[in-house]
């Protein structure tokens, strides 16, 4: 009796999805997160999930985890005490960066200080040249000097080693790393040639420093969780979701924690692709609204795009990541009056503890969830009856703002929701309009606990007419975990012009070496030949450009020269609206994605066939004109083919969906809800 379990830890709730591989039965569960120790919610929730589904821990064959530990450690500065070793003359690289202000028109905001202050950044006399040649040899005496300097740094826990051009020749980094590990086995050591062997030294050094900084915190968490999971699920393979959209081993996650920076949101994008595919809708924009933030992602043709550079908490990361845009607006976002006396929402969140005032856990500040509660959009209970909400507490919290503003509590609640929605609309524009996509050509897919509460208002604001609400919107990130595959990404820098025959030969040799590394990884993971997949892409640009475009090849082999040009022209035209067929082109990186297909099982839940009746009616405010008597339906009772004209509230264990009077809905063959908006 084999089960797959996915667990996504969010700022407010920890979500569970379990699927029986053979029968396709899927069971979902949700419980409050425990920020002081995320594993507590995971293990307690797993025990509750077992009781609900009726299986034993030994029945679980795969446990997949989406984690926020690395992100939270970076946001809160809870990493290890870091030292950095770099080539002489590059000690200040992390501080100089790209010399770009965080906000170009804000003269007051500074970039965050480096994770290692200057006194913990050590220079070493060595030099690798731009062709990988040794310009200045690394001596044993120099290595001994570096080790002695490390010993003088009080309380050092982790070391990042980033040397110039080590992505072409890692010998010096490897020698220092081996000596350091032998001398100080207690230290966590990250080499830039292992973390991200790619050109652009600032981004490579920054990513390596972040990885080393996170290693102590994440490694402790992973080691502890792995041991406890092994006790509860002795037969389960343990996978951690990475930001590029696939699973990796827990050991790999402990070694490269920077890869988990967007673990949970990336899993949501994977779940969205699977869910929208069942409804034959290939173009969607996701709207993942949780307790703390909102994540949006554009999916075109059933695929997400990958970004290779991302700033998190002001720190630069260069790694393959699903292109997700995040804003600090969620159900727990706290509303307050700014210094100018105007209403503001977020980015501070009430989180899981103490949570919104209406959650009755000690929260006193007005939040987005309190505004929804006051306006009747949230039901009296959440999580299948596991949480009872208090409208009176929501009212008391919002009245702290309505008095100074001279507004009614309901008008203030509408103001809170409008500001939160504006932040979310801007996020959607960032992944659509600003990249040349018309959001009206896409369906909007809400998920997360609060996605369905806001989706209709946001879609109407953007002129979108179709909404796709997945079967289990509040658990979609956890569902994305159980339908994901093992994945590893390889990169090789090889800058050549397309008309350079000798360079193309070097490119082919570089690809062959990367394919060997992929084969070694497949063998290490025990992946059968028939389950191995390789996908090649090229970072290309016009000669003289500063930034490159990632051009997908499709297979694992280099195409011929005319096809490479054609692929680049098409990608450039899609991104910028034009291309120049005569201008010289160059390739700067090869990227090879290795995927090992896993068994997922297909969801085979039996839909309801009964004629649904409302659970009841209550007053809901859809606009400032006043409340409307609105039926409330349990989603589990809505059969395939069911249709209604709004207004309505649809409740389920993991989420609530608001259907305003200007919307209609139907349940399609995939048990997804399709909402149409009358613009």
- Tokens of residue 9, six digits: 């830890």
- Asked whether the bond before 347 is cis by omega within 30 degrees of 0, the reply is yes
Residue 666 has pLDDT above 90, yes or no: yes
Query: What's the mean pLDDT when you consider all of the chain?
Result: 89
How far apart are the C-alpha atoms of 61 and 236, rounded to whole Å?
Answer: 4
How far apart are the C-alpha atoms of 198 and 163, rounded to whole Å?
Answer: 12
Q: Name the fold adopted by 486-596.
A: Dna Ligase; domain 1 (3.30.1490)
- Tokens of residue 206, six digits: 């920054």
Three-class DSSP category at 131? coil
Please name the residue that has the structure tokens 């892409």: 537
Q: Contact at 8 Å (CB) between 657 and 436?
A: no
Provide φ and ψ at 643, rounded to 5°: -140, 150
CATH architecture of 77-217: 3-Layer(aba) Sandwich (3.40)
Give me the pLDDT at residue 191, please: 97
Enclosing H/E stretch for 265: helix 263-278
- Band (368; pLDDT cuts 50, 70, 90): very high
Q: Contact at 8 Å (CB) between 322 and 245?
A: yes
Give me the pLDDT at residue 474, please: 86
Three-class DSSP category at 323? coil
Q: Mean of the pLDDT values across residues 392-416?
A: 91
How far apart are the C-alpha atoms of 194 and 196, rounded to whole Å?
Answer: 6
What separation in angstroms does the CA of 505 have from each of 123, 247, 501, 587?
36, 33, 6, 13
The beta-strand segments (E) located in 187-293 are 188-191, 237-241, 247-249, 284-289
- Tokens of residue 231, six digits: 């006790």
Segments of the chain assigned to CATH 3.30.1490: 486-596
Give me the pLDDT at residue 457, please: 93
- Rg over alpha carbons for the chain, rounded to the nearest Å, is 26
- Tokens of residue 117, six digits: 């202050």
Q: 490 has which bridge partners?
A: 592
- Tokens of residue 428, six digits: 């959607």
Segments of the chain assigned to CATH 3.40.50: 77-217
Reported as a single tens digit per residue, the pLDDT across 541-556 is 999 888 889 898 878 8
Segments of the chain assigned to CATH 3.30.420.40: 3-73+219-263, 266-330+420-482
How far apart are the C-alpha atoms of 56 and 41, rounded to whole Å?
Answer: 18
Q: Contact at 8 Å (CB) between 620 and 374?
A: no
Instruction: Output 258 or 33, whichever has higher pLDDT.
Output: 258
CATH architecture of 266-330+420-482: 2-Layer Sandwich (3.30)
Reported as a single tens digit per residue, the pLDDT across 179-228 is 999 999 999 999 999 999 988 899 999 999 999 999 999 999 999 999 99
Strand 121-124, strand 188-191: pairing: unpaired
How far apart are the C-alpha atoms of 288 and 498, rounded to whole Å?
Answer: 41
Question: Which of 31-45, 486-500, 519-533, 592-606 bottoms out in mean pLDDT, i.e. has the lowest?
Answer: 592-606
Give me the pLDDT at residue 608, please: 62
Q: Name the fold adopted by 3-73+219-263.
A: Nucleotidyltransferase; domain 5 (3.30.420)
List the one residue out of 296, 293, 297 whose CA is nearest residue 313: 293
Reported as a single tens digit per residue, the pLDDT across 587-601 is 999 999 999 888 776
Give the predicted TM-score (pTM) of the model.
Answer: 0.86
Q: Mean of the pLDDT values across residues 254-279?
A: 90
Enclosing H/E stretch for 516: helix 501-525
Reported as a single tens digit per residue, the pLDDT across 306-323 is 888 888 878 889 988 888
CA atoms within 13 A on the CB side of 126: 33
How far apart are the C-alpha atoms of 497 and 501, rounded to whole Å?
Answer: 9
What separation in angstroms does the CA of 170 have from each of 15, 271, 591?
41, 38, 18
């Amino acid at each position: 009796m084999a089960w797959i379990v996915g667990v996504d830890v969010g700022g407010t709730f920890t979500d569970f999805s379990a699927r029986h591989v053979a029968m396709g039965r899927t069971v979902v569960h949700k419980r409050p997160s425990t920020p002081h120790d995320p594993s507590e919610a995971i293990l307690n929730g797993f025990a509750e999930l077992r009781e609900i589904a009726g299986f034993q821990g030994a029945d679980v064959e795969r446990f997949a985890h989406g984690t926020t530990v690395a992100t939270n450690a970076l946001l809160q500065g809870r990493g290890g005490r870091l030292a950095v070793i770099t080539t002489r003359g590059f000690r200040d690289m992390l501080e100089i960066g790209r010399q770009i202000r965080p906000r170009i028109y804000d003269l007051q905001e500074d970039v965050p200080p480096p994770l290692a202050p200057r006194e913990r950044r050590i220079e070493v006399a060595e030099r690798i040249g731009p062709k990988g040649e040794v310009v200045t040899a690394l001596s044993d005496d120099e290595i001994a000097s570096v080790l002695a300097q490390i010993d003088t740094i009080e309380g050092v826990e982790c070391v990042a080693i980033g040397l110039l051009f080590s992505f072409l020749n890692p010998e010096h980094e490897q020698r220092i790393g081996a000596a350091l590990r032998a001398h100080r086995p207690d230290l966590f050591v990250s080499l830039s040639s292992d973390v991200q062997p790619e050109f652009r030294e600032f981004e490579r050094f920054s990513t390596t420093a972040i990885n080393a900084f996170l290693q102590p915190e994440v490694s402790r968490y992973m080691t502890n969780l792995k041991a406890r999971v092994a006790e509860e699920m002795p037969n389960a393979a343990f996978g951690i979701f990475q930001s590029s959209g696939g699973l990796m081993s827990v050991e790999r996650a402990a070694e490269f924690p920077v890869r988990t920076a967007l673990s949970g949101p990336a899993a949501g994008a994977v779940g969205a692709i699977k869910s929208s595919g069942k409804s034959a809708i290939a173009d969607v924009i996701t709207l993942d609204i949780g307790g703390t933030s909102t994540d949006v992602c554009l999916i075109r043709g059933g695929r997400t795009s990958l970004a290779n550079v991302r700033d998190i908490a002001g720190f630069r990361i260069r790694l393959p990541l699903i292109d997700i845009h995040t804003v600090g607006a969620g159900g727990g976002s706290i509303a307050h009056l700014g210094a100018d006396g105007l209403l503001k929402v977020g980015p501070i969140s009430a989180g899981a503890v103490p949570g919104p005032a209406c959650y009755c856990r000690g929260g006193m500040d007005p939040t987005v969830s309190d505004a929804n509660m006051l306006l009747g959009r949230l039901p009296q209970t959440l999580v299948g009856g596991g949480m009872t909400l208090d409208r009176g507490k929501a009212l008391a919290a919002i009245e702290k703002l309505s008095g100074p503003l001279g507004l009614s509590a309901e008008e203030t609640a509408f103001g809170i929701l409008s500001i939160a929605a504006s932040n979310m609309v801007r996020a959607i524009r960032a992944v659509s309009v600003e990249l040349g996509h018309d959001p009206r050509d896409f369906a909007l897919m809400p998920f997360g606990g609060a996605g369905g509460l806001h989706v209709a208002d946001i879609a109407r604001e953007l002129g979108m007419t179709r909404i796709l609400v997945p079967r289990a919107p509040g658990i979609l990130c956890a569902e994305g975990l159980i339908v994901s595959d093992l994945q590893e990404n390889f990169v090789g820098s090889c800058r050549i012009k397309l008309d350079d025959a000798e360079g193309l030969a070097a490119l082919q040799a570089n690809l062959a070496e990367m394919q060997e590394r992929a084969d070694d990884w497949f063998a290490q993971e025990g992946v059968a030949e028939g389950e191995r997949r390789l996908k090649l892409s090229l970072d290309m640009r016009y000669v003289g450009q500063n930034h490159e475009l990632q051009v997908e090849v499709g297979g694992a082999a280099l195409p011929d020269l005319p096809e490479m040009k054609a692929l680049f022209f098409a990608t450039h035209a899609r991104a910028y609206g034009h291309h120049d067929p005569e201008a010289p082109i160059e390739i700067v990186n090869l990227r090879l994605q290795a995927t090992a297909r896993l068994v997922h099982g297909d969801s085979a839940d039996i839909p309801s066939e009964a004629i649904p009746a409302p659970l009841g009616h209550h007053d809901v405010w859809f606009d400032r004109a006043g409340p409307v008597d609105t039926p409330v339906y349990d989603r589990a009772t809505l059969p395939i083919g069911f249709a209604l004209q709004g207004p309505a509230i649809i409740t389920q264990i993991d989420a609530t969906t608001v259907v305003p009077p200007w919307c209609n809905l139907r349940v399609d063959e995939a048990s997804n809800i399709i909402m149409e908006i009358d613009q």
